[in-house]
Amino acid sequence: MWYSLLWFIDYLANRYQQVRCNKATVSFQAITCGLLQDLILAHCYLCYISNVCKFLKLILFADDTNAFYSHKSKVELTRIVNDKLQLMKNWFGANRLSLNLENTNFIAFHTPPKD
C-alpha cells in the first residue's frame, strides 16, 4: 500500500513549468496546484472530483464535467440549480480547483405542453 502512495508523491512532487513566447522565456516556476494533462492522472481526477456528485447528477470524462438536474417547475429548477452551483463553486474553491467560466454553458430541455 505504501508503495502506491510513494509512487503518487514522487510522480506529483517537484514539478516545474516554463513559459516561452516568441523569443521571451520566463524562468522555471514550481507547480503548486492544478492537474497535469496525463491519462493516469485523469483517473485520479475523476476520483477526486466525484465528491461533487452529492450536489448534482454528473457525467465525468477526463477533466470535463457535465451536471444535470430536473424539476417540473422552471422557477424551482432555477433556484435549486443556482443553490447547487454555489455549493459546487465553494467546494471547488476549498479544494483549489477552478471552473473555466468561458467554457461553461447551460441548456434547458423541456417537454411541450400537452393539448
The cell numbers describing 95, all together, are: 479544494
Q: Is the pTM of this model over 0.85?
A: no
Tens of each residue's pLDDT in the chain, 115 residues: 677 778 777 777 788 888 888 888 888 888 776 655 555 555 666 666 666 666 677 776 656 677 788 888 889 988 988 888 888 788 878 877 777 777 777 788 878 877 7
